[in-house]
A = this chain, B = another copy of it.
Amino acid sequence: MLEVYDDAYFMRQALKQAELAGTAGEIPVGAVVVADNRIIARGYNETERLNDVTAHAEIIALTAAANHLGDKYLRGCTLYVTLEPCPMCAGALHWAQTSRIVYGASDDKRGFMRFGRELLHPKTKLEFGVLHEDCARLMQQFFRQRR
């Protein structure tokens, strides 16, 4: 089968990261950073394990990407994340001048969009809704099991 490196492909890779988080008992959110059609960093939510509120999938992926690039700016990079970033992560992605952000499921309660796109860098392109049903289902299953 020919693999097509499109947004759905990379979101599936982010979903794999989210599943790793869920298996570890963390809220299942995953992220990958892509440059030139290649994944240069991965991350999933580890707030419980690391005892650190900042250990969101996006933060872990973006710091890993910065390490990989030797540059703290993610210019030319796309960050894929299964859930709409929170304001903290949107702010971090702003500082990193991330070229493009693609998220899956929306987060009406905790997502940054409640505060507006201005939380992102003006040059950042934004896409959302990619595989959003798969992304949302993972979250719903997780919270259903916890109830």
**Which residues of A are interface residues toward B (Cβ below 8 A)?**
47, 51-54, 59, 62-63, 66-67, 70-73, 86-92, 94-96, 115-116, 118-119
Contact = CB atoms under 8 A, between A and B. Distances in A.
Contacts of A95: 47, 53-54, 86, 88
Contact of A52 (B66, B116, B118): B66
Nearest to A47: B72
A63 to B, nearest CB: 6
A72 B70 CA distance: 29
Contacts of A88: 87-92, 94-95
Indicate how many identical chains form the complex: 2
Given A51-B72, A54-B62, A66-B52, A91 B87 contact: yes
Nearest to A69: B51
B54 A59 contact: yes
Contacts of A62: 53-54
Contact of A90 (B51, B59, B70, B87): B87
A47 B73 CA distance: 11
